[in-house]
Amino acid sequence: MRPTKPDSEEEAKQAPQGSLGLTMWRLTALLASPEMAKWRFRMVLALVLTVIAKLFSVGAPILFGDGINLIVDATGGGGASQGEQAGSTLWPTVLTTFSLAFIAYAVARFLSVGAPQLRDAMFAPVSQDAQRLTAVRAFAHVQRLSIGYHQSKRTGALQRIIERGARAVDFLMRFLIFNIAPTLFELTLAAIVLSANYGWEFAVIAVVTIVIYMTLTWTMTEWRVVIRRQMNEADNEASARAVDGLINFETVKAFAAEERESDAYNDAMTRYAQAAARSQSSLALLNGLQAFVMNAGLLAMALTAGWKAYNGILGAGDVAAVTMVLMNIYQPLNILGWAYREIKQGAVDMERVYETLALKPDVADAPDARPLTLAGGAVRFEDVTFTHDGRSRSLGGVSMDIPAGSFVGICGPSGAGKSTILRLLFRFYDPEAGRVSIDGQDLRTIAQTSLRDALGLVPQDVVLFNDTLRANVVYGKPDASEAEIADVLERAHLSAFVRGLPDGLETLVGERGLKLSGGEKQRVGVARAILKDPAVLILDEATSALDSQTEQEVQDALGDAAEGRTTIAVAHRLSTIASADRIFVLDAGKVAETGTHDELLALGGLYADMWRRQSEAVSAVGASLDAAKVSVAE
pLDDT recorded at residue 336: 66
Could you tell me the pLDDT band of residue 170, with boundaries at 50, 70 and 90? confident
Task: Report pTM.
Answer: 0.63
The residue that leads in pLDDT, 447 or 142, is 447
The residue that leads in pLDDT, 347 or 438, is 438
CA-CA-CA-CA torsion for 514, 518, 520, 526, nearest 10 degrees?
A: 110
Q: How far apart are CA 204 and CA 227, in angstroms?
A: 35
Could you tell me the pLDDT band of residue 8, with boundaries at 50, 70 and 90? very low
Full strand arrangement of the beta sheet holding 566-570: 455-458, 536-540, 566-570, 407-411, 582-587, 590-595
Q: Which residues contact 213 (CB under 8 A, 6 or more apart)?
A: 290, 293, 294, 297, 333, 336
The residue that leads in pLDDT, 275 or 409, is 409
Q: Is the pLDDT of residue 7 over 50?
A: no
pLDDT recorded at residue 582: 92
- Looking from the CA of 288 toward its CB, the CA atoms found within 13 Å total 6
pLDDT recorded at residue 3: 36
pLDDT recorded at residue 550: 62
Region 490-494: what's the mean pLDDT?
81
Q: How far apart are CA 230 and CA 123, in angstroms?
A: 34
Region 459-487: what's the mean pLDDT?
85
Could you tell me the pLDDT band of residue 85, with boundaries at 50, 70 and 90? very low
Region 76-85: what's the mean pLDDT?
49
Region 239-248: what's the mean pLDDT?
79
Q: Which residues contact 409 (CB under 8 A, 6 or more apart)?
A: 569, 570, 571, 576, 577, 580, 582, 583, 584
Using DSSP's 3-state secondary structure scheme, residue 603 falls into helix
Region 267-276: what's the mean pLDDT?
83
Could you tell me the pLDDT band of residue 549, with boundaries at 50, 70 and 90? low
Q: Is the pLDDT of residue 560 over 60?
A: yes
Q: How far apart are CA 598 and CA 563, in angstroms?
A: 22
Q: How far apart are CA 190 and CA 195, in angstroms?
A: 8
Per-residue three-class SS string for 168-228: HHHHHHHHHHHHHHHHHHHHHHHHHHHHHHCCHHHHHHHHHHHHHHHHHHHHHHHHHHHHH
Using DSSP's 3-state secondary structure scheme, residue 626 falls into helix
Could you give the residue ranges of the DSSP H alpha helices within 17-90? 20-31, 40-75, 80-86
Q: Which residues contact 370 (CB under 8 A, 6 or more apart)?
A: 445, 446, 447
The residue that leads in pLDDT, 257 or 12, is 257
Could you tell me the pLDDT band of residue 222, with boundaries at 50, 70 and 90? confident
Rounded to the nearest 10 degrees, the angle between the axes of helix 155-172 and helix 91-144 is 150
Lowest mean pLDDT segment, chosen from 44-53, 55-64, 151-160: 151-160
Closest CA to 493 of 439, 542, 555: 555
Q: Quick check: 531 and 477 in contact, CB under 8 A?
A: yes
Could you tell me the pLDDT band of residue 620, with boundaries at 50, 70 and 90? low
Q: How many CB atoms lie within 10 A of CB 568?
A: 27
What would the pLDDT profile of 338-360 be if each residue is shown by its tens digit?
677 677 777 878 888 887 777 77
Q: How far apart are CA 261 and CA 562, in angstroms?
A: 43
Q: Quick check: 419 and 540 in contact, CB under 8 A?
A: yes
CATH superfamily of 20-358: ABC transporter type 1, transmembrane domain (1.20.1560.10)
pLDDT recorded at residue 82: 46
Q: Is the pLDDT of residue 630 over 50?
A: no
Q: How far apart are CA 244 and CA 262, in angstroms?
A: 12
Lowest mean pLDDT segment, chosen from 305-309, 539-543, 581-585: 539-543
Region 246-260: what's the mean pLDDT?
79
CA-CA-CA-CA torsion for 157, 162, 166, 167, nearest 10 degrees?
A: -10
pLDDT recorded at residue 152: 62
pLDDT recorded at residue 1: 36
Q: Which residues contact 203 (CB under 8 A, 6 or more apart)?
A: 190, 191, 192, 194, 195
Question: Domain ranges in the chain?
Answer: 20-358, 370-454+534-634, 461-533
Q: Quick check: 178 and 116 in contact, CB under 8 A?
A: yes
Fold of 370-454+534-634: Rossmann fold (3.40.50)
Number of residues in the chain? 634
Q: How far apart are CA 398 and CA 415, in angstroms?
A: 15
pLDDT recorded at residue 14: 44
Q: How far apart are CA 43 and CA 613, in angstroms?
A: 73
Closest CA to 427 of 358, 373, 379: 379
196 exposure class (CB count in 10 Å sphere: 0-12, 13-18, 19+): exposed
Q: Is the pLDDT of residue 334 over 60?
A: yes
Q: How far apart are CA 133 and CA 140, in angstroms?
A: 10
Q: Quick check: 342 and 171 in contact, CB under 8 A?
A: yes
Q: What is the mean pLDDT of the chain?
A: 79
Q: Which residues contact 174 (CB under 8 A, 6 or more apart)?
A: 120, 127
Task: Report residue 93: phi and psi, to 5°.
Answer: -65, -45
pLDDT recorded at residue 594: 92
Q: How far apart are CA 194 and CA 207, in angstroms?
A: 11
Q: How far apart are CA 281 and CA 546, in angstroms?
A: 58
Q: Does the CA dihedral 438-441-442-443 come out positive or negative? A: negative
pLDDT recorded at residue 389: 64
Region 369-379: what's the mean pLDDT?
88
pLDDT recorded at residue 99: 75
What would the pLDDT profile of 394-411 be if each residue is shown by its tens digit?
788 889 999 988 899 998
Q: How far apart are CA 431 and CA 435, in angstroms?
A: 7
pLDDT recorded at residue 380: 92
Lowest mean pLDDT segment, chosen from 268-282, 340-354, 537-551: 537-551
Q: Does the CA dihedral 125-130-133-138 come out positive or negative? A: negative
Rounded to the nearest 10 degrees, the angle between the axes of helix 200-247 and helix 155-172 is 160
One-letter identity of residue 593: E
Assess whether the region 20-358 and the region 461-533 belong to the same CATH fold: no
Q: Which CATH number does the domain 461-533 belong to among 3.40.50.410, 3.90.1150.10, 1.10.3720.10, 3.40.50.300?
A: 3.40.50.300
pLDDT recorded at residue 329: 78
Lowest mean pLDDT segment, chosen from 43-47, 51-55, 140-144, 155-159: 155-159
Could you tell me the pLDDT band of residue 76, with boundaries at 50, 70 and 90? low
pLDDT recorded at residue 584: 93
What would the pLDDT profile of 189-219 be if each residue is shown by its tens digit?
888 888 888 888 888 888 888 888 888 887 8
User: First-to-last CA distance in the chain?
Assistant: 65
Left, alpha or beta for 564 (phi > 0: left; psi -120 to 50: alpha)?
left
